């Protein structure tokens, strides 16, 4: 049980930190003004929270490496989404 909490805290720090940076980038690029993208952003935040719990539940034994990969993949996607969307919408 102690290993679960250590994994949960680690994944929550990784994914929560990337979510905070993504939130800052989201508002810095003015993406919060596009109401059509708000559902996309909200679903992304919920996915990051759920991913921390799911990765910590299944992130032991032979599933450890895939769980770490998924966590870092989702963190990278959260950090790059504001840049990609700003580029598509014509921002800098």
Q: What percent of the chain has pLDDT over 70?
A: 98
pLDDT for position 91:
62
Classify the phi-psi angles of 34: left when phi > 0, otherwise alpha if psi is within -120 to 50, otherwise beta: beta
pLDDT for position 39:
86
Q: Where are the domains of the chain?
A: 2-88
* Number of CB atoms found within 10 A of residue 52's CB: 23
Instruction: Looking at mean pLDDT, say which of 13-22, 35-44, 82-91 comes out highest.
Output: 13-22
Most distant CA atoms of the chain, gap in Å: 48
Confidence class for position 3, pLDDT limits 50, 70, 90: confident
Yes or no: say if 3 and 55 are a contact pair by the CB < 8 Å rule.
Answer: no
**How high is the mean pLDDT of the chain?**
87
Contacts (Cβ under 8 Å, ≥6 apart) of 45: 19, 23
Whether 87 has a pLDDT exceeding 80, the answer reads: yes
């Amino acid at each position: 049980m102690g290993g679960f909490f250590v994994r949960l805290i680690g994944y929550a720090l990784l994914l929560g930190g990337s979510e905070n940076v993504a939130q800052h980038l989201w508002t810095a690029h003015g993406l919060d003004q596009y109401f059509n993208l708000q559902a996309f952003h909200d679903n992304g935040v919920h996915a990051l929270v759920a991913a921390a719990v799911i990765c910590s539940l299944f992130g032991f034994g032979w599933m450890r490496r895939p769980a770490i990969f998924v966590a870092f993949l989702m963190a990278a996607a959260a950090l790059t989404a504001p840049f990609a969307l700003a580029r598509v919408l014509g921002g800098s």
